[in-house]
Amino acid sequence: MKILQTLVLCFIATISIAQKKSLVLENELYKIQYPNKWTVDTSKTMGTEFFIFSPIENGTDKFRENVNLIVQDISGHNIDLDKYADISKNEINTMGPGSRIYEAKKIKKGKSEYYKIVYDMTEESLKLKLEQYYFVTDTRAFVLTFTTESSKFASFKTVGEGVLNSFQLRSEQIAASFKK
């Protein structure tokens, strides 16, 4: 009987681990992990490299939480991480009365740095909370954004930040050319 119970527990543990397994989206520029129940859209909608969408929660769900990446060509503009963050903060502050920055700080991760900004905004009467990470190289700015309904940010924060924190620039040349 103990052997059967042990086998059942091992089986349940294996299923549990398999359900939590992450999937990977990668190309020559970056690599990112996301939950296996989330879906990926690489159609470059709205100028993005990708969207990674959470599942629809129920029939009344108005917004699918998501992570997206925008890559901007900044070559020839002499923009470093601090300047890019300043420009972005100014844009956020002029978005309208529903915009408010909660957190803005530079973070060191390994040999590179990125800038983290958390803010609220209103889009078509929907109150949203966004967490963005900015990575700036000599020629590109990578804007990685996690977006939720403001009221759901706390419940999606762990998963969303897990996706954001899994982001890696792939090319050694790109990673080595970070502007600080």
Q: What does the pLDDT look like over 49-103, one tens digit per residue?
A: 999 999 998 888 889 999 999 999 999 999 999 999 999 999 999 988 889 999 9
Within a domain: 101: yes
DSSP letter for each residue of 125-161: TEEEEEEEEEEEBSSEEEEEEEEEEGGGHHHHHHHHH
Within a domain: 132: yes
Are the beta carbons of 109 and 180 closer than 8 angstroms?
A: no
pTM: 0.84
Q: How many domains does the chain have?
A: 1
Which band of pLDDT confidence, cut at 50, 70 and 90, is reported for residue 10?
very low
Please give the residue range of the domain that contains residue 32: 23-176
Which band of pLDDT confidence, cut at 50, 70 and 90, is reported for residue 174?
low
Are the beta carbons of 128 and 149 closer than 8 angstroms?
A: yes
Within a domain: 1: no
> Can you tell me whether residue 7 is helix, strand or coil?
helix
Q: What is the CATH number of the domain that holds 47?
A: 3.40.1000.10
pLDDT, mean of residues 144-164: 97
Which band of pLDDT confidence, cut at 50, 70 and 90, is reported for residue 13?
very low
Owner of token pair 């490299």: 49
User: Is it the case that residue 173 has pLDDT exceeding 90?
Assistant: no
User: Is it the case that residue 148 has pLDDT exceeding 80?
Assistant: yes
The rounded mean pLDDT for the chain is: 87
Range from 6-20, 74-88, 146-160 carrying the lowest mean pLDDT: 6-20
Residue 7 is predicted with a pLDDT of 37
Within a domain: 37: yes
Strand ranges for the chain from DSSP E: 22-26, 30-35, 39-41, 50-53, 66-73, 100-109, 112-123, 126-136, 140-149, 168-169
Within a domain: 45: yes
Within a domain: 13: no
Within a domain: 80: yes
Calpha distance 30→71 (Å, rounded): 11
Within a domain: 155: yes
Q: Quick one: how far is CA 110 from the chain centroid?
A: 18
Which band of pLDDT confidence, cut at 50, 70 and 90, is reported for residue 20?
low
Q: Quick one: how far is CA 60 from the chain centroid?
A: 24
Backbone CA torsion sign across 33, 45, 54, 134: positive
